Amino acid sequence: MTNHHDGSCLCGAVRFHTSGDLRGVVYCHCSQCRKQTGLYYAATDVSDADLRVEGGENLTWYAASDFARRGFCRVCGSALFWKRNGADKVSIMAGAFEAPSGLVADSHIFVADKGDFYTIDDGLPQYARSSAAVAVAGNDD
């Protein structure tokens, strides 16, 4: 199977398998991602059709806003997924993939909201809010 990747939460109660190309990793520094993780999101995404989840009954979906929800393991708390309402794809936390992930870093978004206790100096593009290439909420809605 080409472009197949596996991943899981920390405890293994939720496992996932993807096929197809994985988007470059986008780091989201918004306050919601910061609060949820303690730092920031690092996420790729895949179309719904390219994602298979095992143990989905162990996923809890939390709607931090009226435009998206966040899926995490209810056993160990690992953040795993972010899904915009009505979208046909889902973002997956890059760190949940087994190595080698083959993932490539892409850019930073919502840097205007980032925590004040770290700096971003990896040379990747930085966007104050979202980037046109990344379908997240907050461009202008």
Whole-number Å distance between alpha carbons of 5 and 75: 23
Q: How far is CA 77 from CA 67, 69, 128, in A?
A: 22, 15, 29
Q: Supply the minimum distance, in Å, between the C-beta of residue 116 and Zn ion.
A: 16
The number of residues making up the chain comes to: 141
Under 8 Å between Cβ of 94 and 107: no
DSSP, residue by residue, 85-112: TT-SEEEEEGGGBPSS----EEEEE-GG
Interface ranges with Zn ion (CB under 5 A): 9, 11, 13, 28, 30, 33, 73, 75-76
Q: Supply the minimum distance, in Å, between the C-beta of residue 19 and Zn ion.
A: 22
Beta-carbon count within 10 A of 37 CB: 17
**Cβ nearer to Zn ion, comparing 3 with 31:** 31
Three-state DSSP state, 49: helix
Q: Supply the minimum distance, in Å, between the C-beta of residue 74 and Zn ion.
A: 8
Q: Supply the minimum distance, in Å, between the C-beta of residue 90 and Zn ion.
A: 15
Q: Supply the minimum distance, in Å, between the C-beta of residue 2 and Zn ion.
A: 28
